[in-house]
């Protein structure tokens, strides 16, 4: 099969992903094999390719927002059948036995495996996933528009839950890429007032078009303080700025798998029962809840499509903020 393979980490400007031939993977007893149609491009892929995440082994195929058709399945697979449209996201599998897994918090499982990090991902013609971590997709979404739901959407939904936003409250989104443009639509469906903070004038215009009540830079003063906020950009200084816009009793969720150093800040920034918390991965329940909700809203994903061989260029566009909404690789 054809795949974009990472053999050595490096800046995306140096084209570290190489189009290569790889053996066709064979599913284990509880795994499905997807014939990949599309794969979303995520900032986590960028962190992986450029070596900002610890990679267990190389070579590696990135990509974890995968939509395709079940091409083959293991003997113990009961949830899906050959020919089904299915998808896979960041969590490729978990131990199922630890306290976190038994409490349906498999996002914190110490032995969790992640697609495109511990297991080859969707920048390839075929990919494997444990059946328990595969998702059926609402038929209303095309493959290209479904792909961003599988990480940007689900993890954004978890961030919305963890920031404890309530209907009618004011929410701040800091950074406005693939995840934030979906989270905004969910928050508006919940009748929240949404303020967006981003350096990009184009992204501010996009946010206003999607229903944001105000858009500016993180340094700007919004029309009101926030009951809740989410930071999406992996920039530590942004956390300090976001806390300045938070009401007493509010919660700021940091939605990033890696982060530049967070500057020290005065205790007054979190005094008055403000909460600062991280968002780590997602659970299967998050995925099931979010995909059902996305169809109900319905969420509209704005996508830019690249070919599989253009994966380096797509990651470069993401790094340089030359994007609007989400990026997707067309594989099949």
Dihedral sign for Cα atoms in the order 160, 220, 212, 200: negative
Which CATH number applies to 2-141+301-330? 3.90.180.10
User: Which residues is 173 bridged to in the sheet?
Assistant: 196, 230
Dihedral sign for Cα atoms in the order 108, 111, 116, 122: negative
pTM value is: 0.94
**C-alpha distance from residue 290 to each of 77, 102, 186 (Å):** 24, 21, 9
pLDDT at 325: 86
pLDDT at 292 over 90: yes
pLDDT digits (tens, 9 = 90+) for 230-277: 999 999 999 999 999 999 999 999 999 999 999 999 999 999 999 999
Task: Report the distance separating Cα 105 and Cα 93, nearest Å.
Answer: 13
Task: Report the distance separating Cα 3 and Cα 39, nearest Å.
Answer: 12
Task: Report the distance separating Cα 12 and Cα 223, nearest Å.
Answer: 39
Which CATH number applies to 154-278? 3.40.50.720
Instruction: Count the Cβ atoms, other than its own, within 10 Å of residue 29.
Output: 10
Cis peptide bond N-terminal to 59, omega within 30: yes
Give the whole-number percent of the chain exceeding pLDDT 90.
Answer: 98
Domain residue ranges in the chain: 2-141+301-330, 154-278
pLDDT digits (tens, 9 = 90+) for 93-150: 999 999 999 999 999 999 999 999 999 999 999 999 999 999 999 998 999 999 999 9
Fold matches, 2-141+301-330 and 154-278: no
What's the rounded mean pLDDT across residues 205-214? 97
């Amino acid at each position: 099969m054809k795949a974009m393979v990472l053999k050595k980490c490096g800046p995306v400007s140096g084209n570290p992903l190489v189009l290569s031939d790889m053996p066709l993977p064979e599913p284990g007893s509880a795994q499905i094999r997807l014939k990949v149609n599309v794969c979303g491009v995520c900032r986590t892929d960028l962190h992986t390719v450029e070596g900002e995440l610890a990679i267990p082994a190389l070579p590696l195929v990135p990509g974890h927002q995968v939509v395709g058709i079940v091409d083959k399945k293991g003997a113990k697979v009961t949830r899906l059948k050959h020919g089904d449209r299915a998808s896979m996201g960041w969590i490729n599998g978990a131990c199922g036995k630890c306290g976190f897994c038994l409490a349906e918090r498999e996002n914190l499982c110490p032995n969790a495996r992640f697609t495109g990090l511990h297991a080859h991902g969707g920048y390839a013609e075929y990919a494997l996933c444990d059946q328990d971590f595969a998702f059926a997709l609402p038929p209303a979404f095309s493959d290209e528009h479904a792909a961003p739901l599988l990480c940007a959407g689900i993890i954004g939904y978890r961030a919305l839950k963890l920031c404890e936003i309530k209907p009618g409250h004011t929410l701040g989104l800091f950074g406005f890429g693939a995840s934030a443009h979906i989270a905004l639509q969910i928050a508006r469906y919940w009748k929240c007032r949404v303020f967006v903070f981003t350096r990009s004038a184009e992204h501010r215009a996009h946010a206003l078009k999607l229903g944001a009540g105000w858009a500016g830079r993180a340094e700007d003063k919004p029309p009101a303080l926030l009951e809740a906020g989410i930071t999406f950009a992996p920039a530590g200084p942004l956390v300090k700025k976001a806390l300045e816009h938070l009401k007493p009793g509010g919660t700021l969720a940091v939605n990033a798998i890696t982060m530049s150093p967070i500057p020290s800040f005065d205790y007054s920034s979190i005094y008055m029962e403000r909460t600062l918390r991280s968002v780590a991965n997602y659970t299967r329940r998050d995925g099931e809840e979010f995909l059902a909700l996305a169809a109900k809203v319905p969420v509209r994903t704005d996508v830019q499509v690249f070919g599989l061989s253009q994966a380096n260029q797509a990651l470069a566009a993401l790094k340089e903020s030359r994007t609007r909404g989400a990026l997707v690789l067309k594989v099949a």
